[in-house]
Each structure stands twice: as C-alpha cells, then as structure tokens.
Structure 1
Amino acid sequence: MGRRHEKLSVRPRSVIPGRQRWDIGVVSGRPRLAVALETNLCHAPGVLAARANPVTGRLLVRHDSRLTGEQVGKLVLQAVAAVVRKITGSRQVAPTGQGETDNGLALVAVGATAAIVAVSVPAPLVGLGAVLGTTAVIIRTAWRKSERAARQEPSPPKWAKQPPLLTIVGRYRKRFYLASALSVLGQLMDMVLVLVIGWIVLVLIRGESAALIGIGLTGATTQIWVLAAAAALVCLGLAALSYTAGIQWRALAHDVRHEWRDRLYPRVQRLELRHLEDERTTRMARLLTDDINQLGTFLASSAHEVLTLTTSFVVLVPVFLVFAPQIAWVAFLPVPIVAWLSFRHHDKIGPDYLRVAENESALNSRLTDNLAAAATVKSFSAETHEIERVSALSERYRDSGKLLDRGAVSYTETVRVSATVSLAGILLLGGRAVLAETLRFEIFNPLVGLPQQVLWKLPNLGNVVDGYQQTAAALHRLRYLEELPVESATRGHRLDVARVKGEMVLENVTFGYPGRPPVLRGLTMRIAPEKVTGIVGVTGAGKTTIAKLMMRFQRPDSGRVFLDGQDIAEIRLRDLRRAIGFVAQDAFLFDGTIEDNIRYGSFQAGHRRVVDAARMAAVDEFVETLPSKYATTIGERGVSLSGGQKQRVSLARAFVKDAPIVVLDEATSAVDNETEAAIQHALKDFARDRTLVVIAHRLSTIRHADHIYVMGTDGVPAEEGTHDELLRLDGVYASLWRLQVGEAG
C-alpha cells in the first residue's frame, strides 16, 4: 500500500482541524482526474468539500472537525486509488494529460498511414478500408477514454443501458426526430450545393451538358442560368433548413432543461432530510443547474454536429466507392490524422486553459486586494513592492496566454494543411485517372470539393465526444437522484392538529449518523404536554438530533417516538409537521421582505398577525428603524441582518405558525441578554396551553422550564429535574450554572 501511494505521489502538505491540503502528483495536468477525485471525495462521509487543481497538482479537503487527520488521510488515499483505477483502467498512471492512450493513438495513426501509402496505389479499396478502420480505432479508443473519465459510478444501473439521448429528450422524442431530420436534410442540401457548383464549372469548361440537353435545356448560356438559379434555390433551401434546425434544437434544449428541472426539483424538495444532508448543498445545486444545463447544451450544439458529420460519412463513402474508387483512399486519408489531432488537442488544451484561468484569477485577485488595501499599502510605503508583484503576475498571465494561443493556432494550421494535402492528392490522382481515361471528368469534377465537408467538421470531434460522455455522466447522476427515496406527505394516519395535546415520548431510541458512532443510545425521554421542557448539554451530546427525530427529519435506528400515544412513523407527515413549530439555531431567511419571511409557511396570514408575532419576538425593535419597515428586502440568506435579528425573524415565523408544539433549538443564542429577557417574557404568554421544548447552551434560557434534561456524552440524560432540583443535586448542571453566572471557585 505504501509503495502504491508513493507511485501515485500523494502526500499531505498541511493539516489543521477541519481542513487539509495535499500534493497529488497524478492530478497534475489531468483535469478529468481532478474532477473525478473531487466527486469521489464529496461522497465520502464527513467530507464537506473538495477542490483538486490540475494545474498545481494540489488538493484542498474541508471536513468535519470530528474526523481525525488519519481518517481523512485514509479517505484521500482511497479516493485517489479508486479514481485512478476507474479512469486509467490500469495500475500505471501517465504523468500528463496525454498518457499512454495518446501515444498509442499516434502509433496507430502513423502506422496506418504508412501502410495505406504502401498498398493504396495497387489496391485502392484496401487503402480506403485501412483509412476507415484506423479512424474507427482512434474514435473508439478516445471514446472509451472519455467514458472512463466521465463515469463516476462503478457499475451503471439497468436504466443506464437505455439510449442516453432518447432518455434525455423523454416525451419530446418526436421533436428530437424532427430536428434530427432537419439537420440531415440540411447536410444533404449542402452537398447538393457543392455538386451544382461543380456542374456549373463543368459546363464552363466542357460546354453543354448532355444530361441537361436530355431534359430540353440546350445552349451553354441557358444551362448556366438554370444551374445558377438551381444553386440559388439550394442556398435558400439550405438557409431555411439550417435556420429551422437551429431553432428546433435550441427550443428542444430549453424545453428539456425545463422538463428535467420541473421533474427533479419537486422530488428534491421531498427527499428525506438525511439524504439532503448526505449529498451536500453545493453538489445538489450543481445537479439541478450544471448537470441539467449540460443535457440542453449538448442538444443545442453538439447533436447537430454529430448528425451532419455522420451524414457526410454515410453519403460520401458509398459515392466515392461507386463513382471514383481509385481516389477514395486519398480523399479520406487525412480523416484519421485530423481525428487523432482533434482528440490530442482536446486533451492538451484543457490544462492550458486551466493555467490561463488560474493566472488570470491570481492577477485579478491581486489587483482587487491592492485597490481595496490602498491605505495599508501607502502606510507601509509598499507601492513599489506591489507594482512588482502585479507586473510578475501579469507577465505570467501573458506567457500562459501566448502558450495557449500558440497551441490553438498550430492545431488550426495543421488541420488546414491536412485538408490542402487531401485536395492536392485528389487533384493529382484524379487528374491522372482522367488523363488515363479510367475516370470520367464529368464524375471527377463535382467530387473534388466533397471531402472537405468531412474534414472541416473533424477538428471539433474531440469536444463532441467529450461533451457526449459528460452528458451521459450528467444523465447518470440525475437518474440516480430520481431513485433516492422521498417523503410521502399524505401516507399514514390523519392527525387533527387542533386536538393535539402535545405529549411526546422518545422510547429507547438509538441513533447515529452514517460513518459515525451513535449519538443517542437507548434514550428514553418524556416531553410533558402544555409544559416547558429544557434540554441542555455539551456540544455533540445529541440535543439537535432529538429535535430532528421529533420532526421526523431523521428516523431512529431503533426505538420509537410517540406523539400523544401515536407512533409518529404512522402519522401523516404533513399533519405531524403542522403540529410542530421548529426554530433552528442557524436561522435561514429567504431573499425577500421581512414580512414575507415571517409569513413563510403560513402564507395566508394577514399583516396584523405578522406584526403581533414580530412584537413577541422583538423584531419590531429594529424593523421600526428601517425606512421600508416590514417591506424591507433583506437579501439572500438575510445577508443584511445580524445573527440576532435573523433569529428573531425566525422565531416570529414560528409564532405565526401557532403550532401546539414548538421546538426552539438555540433560537436565541445570538441575541443580547436584554433582548432575550424580552423574548422570554413573551414566551411565557405564548407557551400557555402549548408544549414548548427549549434546547440551549445558556442555562438562563431554560432556568424557568418545568423540567430540564441534561444530556451526557454517552447519549442519555446525565441528570434531569427542575432548575432548583438540579442545583441541589450539585452535579453537571450545577457546575455549568456556576461557570455561567461567574460563581465558580
């Protein structure tokens, strides 16, 4: 194992609680491997985020601080080994993005070309077969390479064997077929235009065309006019077909994106909370944005290119075999070479683009920081130092841009030379055949320009293949998302919320998060109806987990939770959550007005009810100072409000809901003591005739509770009783109380 990791060049760079940096040698110059490594690690238990940089070969891992450095290191090593096995399909890793695959392709292309040159003059059909066979090998090899890089799942499920494009378009299959037909007809029309132009040239050189005379068109001038008119009509038809096909593909792409998002987002909203927490918010958002957009992007751009290229091959190969077999091999000779160049360029250009982007980002960051820190720079007379730093970054950005441009221009010109060589070869061999009277000039002339239809589409082949595989991988992830179990809001027994008394009992409950030891072990706890119950304890003792179990955000591994004697697993979920108001410590506010956020979940509540709830939660104290009062927009996640203000708005939201049971999880931890005292006073009236569960670190928050549970580190209450009883017990609670009120020692 150690030697294997050494070969992969994996070693830690820095380790601090919650974050580690690693040098991953195999990632350098391999953007696909970097993406695969990020995805693999983001699925690992306890990993919050992962970022692999193929330019620097470094990896940043943000993780749960409860994971040890050794545990994270093991996850990183396992992820690197797994990803390398998937992508390379072997135990050897090439140091750059090209690797052994590209070297193999180069040998195939060069070897096949040499063989073709040797055998094609005496055996043109064998030469053409070798050209097409070489092209097929190159495309297939690159296809498999791209497929390995795109696919993250070790074994695709049964539905992955369905044709991806038909799965993507779903109920829009007829429109997909229509757009495909338009693309094919447009390509055929494009080839017809080349033939008509060739016919015009033929008439100009040879005079009247016997074929046109046969349909009553005599005279070279008349034939030229008719052919020119035909060319104009073909151009108009081609323009109409291209326009219609473009509109159809783009409209289909928009509709497919909307269809998938409209289908998946409601499902995501109904996913069990445990799956949402396991999947990470950013990854789930990428599925609903980037992956769905990828489906539409392929339809809007690459699908048309695939069809036109395929049509060109399917039509031109038989045409040359039937009418000009002696020049067929040279007409298609550049195809495998250009195909190989396309894939090679696509692999090579990725790290170059990343390097340019990295340098541009560093330059922009430095410029922004310098302008923002102008006072600091001037106070230390560091202007010259900063000028030199910006100049160095700008120089690095310039050099990487030049390198990128040099590669792009070289590639373009190489393709141009290949096309020119092909044309020259056709003219040379075709001309010899015409002079030898083994090929009629009337056939040779229109065919001269047709192979260019294929050659000028090949340079983008690498992007198209990679785009298809990325689309298939995106589809795979989206279909996996569809298979995650969702909550049923209507399954179970109905619950009359108006008749809920509010007694909740956790009976012998054990629960642990995936990959971690149990948080609760055989917990039995009774929440008395129409009373205030406090729950305190150290961080990680399971206080918030108890609230999640009561809300059925999580399911116990063993044991049961009851509401008024009914197992909550058998109660209709919608009714259960209508019966419980929940205020989390991390108050989440939506982009909108303060009133909208207070009314959230109780959308029919009137303004008077919102204002009353705001007054109880002490929201009115700061709202009245705002120019737009309750109509003030607070920004995304309530960015314009302080932590305490957010908590008060969230608390007011629970007051508006007016549920018979209210769970406050550190709901006032960010407010000052004076505000908390005002809220506590309001809670006395609000808690009358309802069950109130208060989870807190500050004991002053729950000192007046009717009953208090002190959670221990072993997943069960260490102590319980009233505030006075717990003080007399002189245990954990009493010690915490003395610390918080300043009476210790």
Structure 2
Amino acid sequence: MRLLRYAKGYRRQIMTATVCSIINKLFDIAPEILIGVAIDVVVNQEQSFVASLGFETPQEQITMLAALTFFIWAGESLFEYLFQVLWRNLAQRLQANMRQDAYEHAQWLDMAFFESKSSGQLVATMNDDVNQLERFLDGGANALIQVGVTVLAVGAVFFVLAPLIALLAFTPIPLIIWGAFFFQRKAGPLYNDVREKVGDLSSRLSNNLSGIATIKSFTSEAREAERLRDASEAYVDANRRAIKVSSAFIPVIRMAILAGFLATFTVGGMMALNGNLNVGAYGVLVFLTQRLLWPLTGLAQVIDLFERAMASTRRILDLLEEPITVRDDSSTPMSQPVKGEVRFESVSFHYAASQVGVDAVNLHAPAGHTLALVGATGSGKSTLVKLLLRFYDPEDGRVLIDGQPVNEVSMHSLRQAIGLVSQDVYLFEGSIRDNIAYGKPEAGDATIIDAAKTAEAWSFIEMLPEGLDTPVGERGVRLSGGQRQRLSLARALLKDPPILVLDEATSAVDNETEAAIQRSLKHIAHGRTVIMIAHRLSTIVHADEIVVIEKGQVAERGTHGELLGANGHYAAQWRVQTGAA
C-alpha cells in the first residue's frame, strides 16, 4: 500500500499495462476452448455447437475456427508486446524516479543521519534495493495479474460447462492460496534479513576499497579478505534460509494441482462415457484444467520475487520517510550585500549519541575580522562550524549573520555566503578544473586560474602535463595531501564567500604547504570574515581574536599577545608547540 501511494502518479500507466495483461491472458486461454470446439465439430459435425451458429458443413466450421484461431493468436501476440513494453518502461521509469527521490531526500537529511548510517547501506538501498523492485515490475506484476485472470476466466467456463467438475477442479485452489500466504508470512522477515546482509556487504566493500592504502600499509589484506568472506557468507546464509522456505512451496502445490487435474480427468471422462457430458466440452475441461492449475506452480517464484521486491521497497520507502529535522522552511534570502558579521548567542547543542557538544557559547566575529578557535580534540570547535552552516540546529540560543538568525533565511543563501575548507578534503572524480569550479561551474579558465594562484595551487598545476585538465582520481587520490588542500582552498575562493571557514585546514599538510596557505590567507582575509579552527597555533597568531574552547565552553579569549600574557591554556599549548616548555 505504501508503494501504491508513492506510485499514484503512475496510475494511468499501471492501469493500461494491467488491461493489456488481462486481454493477453484472455486471448491465451481461448485456443484451449477452440480445441474443444474443434473436437465437437469432428465428432458431431452438422449437430455441433458451431453448426448452430450458421456454419452448416464441417468444412465451413473448421475454416471458421482456423480464421478465428489466427486472429486470437495475433491478438495475443499484439497484447503480449504491449504489456511487456508498458510494464518494462514503467519499471524503468519508477526505479529511476525512486532512486532520484531517495537521493534528493537523503541530501536534505541532517548530518546526524549520515553519521549513524554507513555509506554502503545507503548505496545498497538506492541501487540494489531499487533494482529488486525493477525486477519484480519487469515480470512479476504481470504474472500475478495473469494468474488471477486465469482463475476467474477458466472458472467461469468450468461452471458454465460442468458445475460438478468445476467444484472438483477448484478444490485445491484454497490450499494453493493458503500456501502462498503462509509462504509470504514466513518469507517476508527472511528477505528483510537478506536485504540487511546486502547492505552490510556493500558497506564492507565500500569501506575496504576507500581504505585500501591503510590495509596495504598494515599488511591486513588477509584479515580484510576474511572479514569480507564473513559478510559474504552471512548474505549466503540469509539467502539459504529464504530459499529453504520458498523451495518447499512448489512440491506441496504440485500435489494439490495433481488432485484437481485427476478429478477433472476421471470424473469428466466418466460423465462423457455415460453421455452426460459433450466430448468437446470434456476436451475443453481437460485442457483448461492444465491451463488453470499448472500456472499456479509458478506462483511460488512470483511470490518469491514479490517478497524480495517488497523487502527492498520497505527499505527505500523508510529512507524516503526519514524525517528531516533541519528544515529549509524559509524562502527569505540573506540581506545583500552580506557583510559577514557572525554572532553566537548563548548557543548550546549536544549530539544525541554521545551527549557531547557546546554549552552557552557566546562568540562575535565582526565583519572582515579573523576569529580563531583552538582547543583539544572534541572540545566543540567543529560543532560551532556545523551550527553556523546549519548542519544542525542549536538546542538553545541563536546563530546570526549580519543580525539575521541563520534559521530564518533560506539554506541556499546561507551556504552561498560561507566557504568551507576542512581538514578532510573531498575532491570529486574529474579534472582539476571541475573541482576548483565546483561552486561555480560556469566559471572561465581565467577566473579558475586566479583562484588557483591566490590559493598558491597554480605553481603545481601548471607543472602537470595536462594542467587544469589533469584527472584527480577518486577522492583526489592522484594528488598529494598538500595539493588536495590547496585545491580545496581554491575551490572555496572561487566561490568568493564573504565568510570563509578553515576547519583545521593546515593540520595535515607539510611546512611548505602551510607556509603557502599562510601567505594565501593574507590576501584571502582582506575584506572577508575568516573563522579558523587550528591545532597549529603558529597559523593563527595574527588573528583578531583567539578563543580557547574547553569541554564545550569558552575558556579564554583575546589576541595572541593577551593570551600569552594570561599564562593559561593557550600559553601552555604555545610553549609545548614552540619547545619552550
């Protein structure tokens, strides 16, 4: 029902495809009826059923049946083509839109969701789970519809020709239907487990491939191969349990079908021998019994496919229904031009899992000033940046830019005003040009080169054989850490934001790169607000204000000279880093 609600925009396509499936099955059943009618013509000739329609001689009757058979087969072929095209196109369109909707929804989820979910699980949901639904719509939906049409249409013919035999032939059907629902109840949880194991396996593969350098450096190839084997075997075991249930369905159903067929075969034969049933009608009943009951053996495979698809669909719809806690409810843009004044007013926030965060923090960065945040790992520095960017909303207090609360302006205008350069640089697979121009895809080469020069990245870019067209590889793997960091800075600069946030941007680079970034900052900081998070205190000595964060609270604040004079946390850390301790 959740899937049908989601697919309400596809109702016309679903109805059209369903009608074509029904008509195709009706045409498919008709030849068996014509065989019985032909037998009646051969046996009874001028007294046959067809003769009563005005075709006097047996030759005319056979010719008429041949012509009718041709049109029935042509109609069956036409509607088989139509339902296959309609169902398959529907499957393609629905799976593409569902994947797109799931991805777009996921992009708006807050960071807490991504911190609690593995990327492998999400990729498995958006890719493999969506493909499971596509496989069911490709053939399973049509099969379910045609089984239902077969039961109704054949049942109608049976009750017209021989009600007693109809009752005998239909006796196994309740058992078959009960078996199908029994299987569905048993298989549903098993296939949910299968989909979970697929996600675990995808997560393991994704993590290992991303961390291949670490695996190699620790010579952990054998251990990681064993972990992958364990995840793979867990997936195999989950499938094995589901297969055990699904495989038991067909043998039981075949015996029920045999009972129905034997009833029609023997009782109908006796009635025909006694003259109580027309020979042609007996032939129709025998052929239609097979047409009625044998397709039900395939019901197990269809329901198996259905259960796999529904287990996947539940995961997709659960993702689509994941609540968005940080909502972009405002269409109000930030007041232009953005000057860049940043203020935290009694801001408190704690992560749900660990309960660490910040408590009643007050900060003020005037427009055009540089504010530096220092402190131990986990003290809350990066949390303040996440609150500024509205990755999270504070529990108490307000974050303001130019006097406007960030939750009262559109997310787009807020984040357009902020450039972020983080310690963990993420470069997209593509060229250097693509990555620098990520924030402004329309930027020309001259603008891109200016940004690269300001970030002191152009010196190495122009040395590369392909220059700006040099591929960076997945996550920038073809470049050094310092080169990636400079490209990240150039990317932020090309965006030309009034507020620039450097989240430990120099903590993982060499001294040369740090010196280059320091030189860049002298140009970058002019006319914009810079918020720097740093462990290397040498990078922030020229900041207008330095704030020491300890355990989520402001411990000290002042200029470099003032903090050294206070002889507190900052001064102690400075002595450690400069070797004066």
1:24-35 pair list within 5 angstroms: none
- Name the residue aligned to 2:572: 735
The CA deviation at 1:697 is 1.7
Q: List runs of 5+ in structure 2 lacking aligned partners.
A: 206-211, 217-235
CA contact (8 A) 2:419 2:501 kept: yes
CA contact (8 A) 2:133 2:309 kept: no
Q: CA RMSD in A?
A: 3.7
Q: Distance in 1 between matches of 2:409 and 2:4?
A: 40
- Name the residue aligned to 2:413: 575
* Match of residue 360, structure 2, among 522, 534, 558: 522
The CA deviation at 1:238 is 0.8
- The answer to whether 1:721 aligns with 2:558 is yes
AA aligned opposite 2:461:
V
Relative distance call for 1:408 and 1:534 in structure 2 (3 A) is: closer
Q: Distance in 2 between matches of 1:171 and 1:207?
A: 54
AA aligned opposite 1:237:
G
* Match of residue 532, structure 2, among 694, 707, 713: 694
Equivalent position SS for 1:530: coil
AA aligned opposite 1:470:
A
Q: Distance in 2 between matches of 1:472 and 1:687?
A: 50
1:219-368 pair list within 5 angstroms: 219-263=57-101, 265-274=103-112, 277=115, 281-338=119-176
What are the Cα deviations for residues 440-490 of structure 1, in whole angstroms up to 9, with x where unaligned?
Answer: 333222111213233333233432552564366256425514x63674386
Number of aligned residues: 541
* Match of residue 299, structure 2, among 455, 460, 482: 460
Q: Distance in 2 between matches of 1:532 and 1:348?
A: 61
* Match of residue 634, structure 1, among 462, 467, 472: 472
- Name the residue aligned to 1:540: 378
CA contact (8 A) 1:503 1:527 kept: yes
Relative distance call for 1:648 and 1:607 in structure 2 (3 A) is: same
Q: Distance in 2 between matches of 1:208 and 1:196?
A: 17
Identity of aligned residues (%): 36
TM-score under structure 1 length normalisation: 0.65
- Name the residue aligned to 2:225: none
- The answer to whether 1:508 aligns with 2:346 is yes
CA contact (8 A) 1:208 1:218 kept: yes
What are the Cα deviations for residues 128-157 of structure 1, in whole angstroms up to 9, with x where unaligned?
Answer: xxxxxxxxxxxxxxxxxxxxxxxxxxxxxx
Relative distance call for 1:418 and 1:601 in structure 2 (3 A) is: same
Q: List runs of 5+ in structure 1 lacking aligned partners.
A: 1-162, 366-371, 377-397
- Name the residue aligned to 1:670: 508
- Name the residue aligned to 1:651: 489
- Name the residue aligned to 2:20: 182
Q: Distance in 1 between matches of 2:119 and 2:518?
A: 34
Relative distance call for 1:696 and 1:725 in structure 2 (3 A) is: same
Equivalent position SS for 1:540: coil
What are the Cα deviations for residues 321-347 of structure 1, in whole angstroms up to 9, with x where unaligned?
Answer: 342222224323443555566677786
What are the Cα deviations for residues 1-21 of structure 1, in whole angstroms up to 9, with x where unaligned?
Answer: xxxxxxxxxxxxxxxxxxxxx
- Name the residue aligned to 2:220: none
* Match of residue 496, structure 1, among 336, 339, 343: 336
CA contact (8 A) 1:267 1:486 kept: no
Q: Distance in 1 between matches of 2:350 and 2:482?
A: 31
Equivalent position SS for 1:425: helix
1:601-612 pair list within 5 angstroms: 601-612=439-450
AA aligned opposite 1:739:
V
AA aligned opposite 1:544:
S
AA aligned opposite 1:463:
D
- Name the residue aligned to 2:36: 198
Q: Which moved more, 1:236-245 or 1:330-339?
A: 330-339
* Match of residue 321, structure 2, among 454, 473, 480: 480
CA contact (8 A) 1:580 1:660 kept: yes
Q: Distance in 1 between matches of 2:79 and 2:45?
A: 33
AA aligned opposite 1:593:
S
The CA deviation at 1:615 is 2.5
The CA deviation at 1:540 is 1.1
Q: Distance in 1 between matches of 2:135 and 2:168?
A: 35
Relative distance call for 1:475 and 1:692 in structure 2 (3 A) is: closer
CA contact (8 A) 1:287 1:477 kept: no
Relative distance call for 1:196 and 1:735 in structure 2 (3 A) is: same
Q: Distance in 2 between matches of 1:612 and 1:593?
A: 17
AA aligned opposite 1:721:
G
What are the Cα deviations for residues 649-685 of structure 1, in whole angstroms up to 9, with x where unaligned?
Answer: 1111111112121110011222111111111012112
Q: Distance in 1 between matches of 2:534 and 2:64?
A: 90
Q: Distance in 2 between matches of 1:205 and 1:213?
A: 12
Relative distance call for 1:251 and 1:694 in structure 2 (3 A) is: same
Relative distance call for 1:406 and 1:679 in structure 2 (3 A) is: closer
1:201-216 pair list within 5 angstroms: 201-208=39-46, 210-216=48-54
CA contact (8 A) 1:182 1:244 kept: yes
Q: Distance in 2 between matches of 1:404 and 1:278?
A: 28
Q: Distance in 2 between matches of 1:508 and 1:218?
A: 100
CA contact (8 A) 1:324 1:444 kept: no
What are the Cα deviations for residues 548-600 of structure 1, in whole angstroms up to 9, with x where unaligned?
Answer: 12222222111112223333333343333222211122222222211111111
CA contact (8 A) 1:535 1:711 kept: yes
Q: Distance in 2 between matches of 1:292 and 1:405?
A: 21
CA contact (8 A) 2:334 2:404 kept: no
Relative distance call for 1:606 and 1:522 in structure 2 (3 A) is: same
The CA deviation at 1:186 is 0.9
What are the Cα deviations for residues 602-621 of structure 1, in whole angstroms up to 9, with x where unaligned?
Answer: 22322122112223323234
The CA deviation at 1:546 is 0.8
What are the Cα deviations for residues 694-735 of structure 1, in whole angstroms up to 9, with x where unaligned?
Answer: 10122222233222111101x112122222332333322222
TM-score under structure 2 length normalisation: 0.82
The CA deviation at 1:190 is 1.1
CA contact (8 A) 1:295 1:475 kept: no
CA contact (8 A) 2:264 2:289 kept: no
Q: Distance in 1 between matches of 2:295 and 2:478?
A: 52
The CA deviation at 1:512 is 1.1
CA contact (8 A) 1:644 1:671 kept: yes
Q: Distance in 1 between matches of 2:462 and 2:258?
A: 76
AA aligned opposite 1:331:
A
Q: Which moved more, 1:684-693 or 1:220-229?
A: 220-229
Relative distance call for 1:627 and 1:454 in structure 2 (3 A) is: farther
- Name the residue aligned to 1:616: 454
- Name the residue aligned to 1:427: 265
AA aligned opposite 1:466:
E
AA aligned opposite 2:136:
F
What are the Cα deviations for residues 52-86 of structure 1, in whole angstroms up to 9, with x where unaligned?
Answer: xxxxxxxxxxxxxxxxxxxxxxxxxxxxxxxxxxx
CA contact (8 A) 1:504 1:561 kept: yes
1:135-174 pair list within 5 angstroms: 163-164=1-2, 166-174=4-12
Equivalent position SS for 1:710: strand
Relative distance call for 1:598 and 1:209 in structure 2 (3 A) is: farther
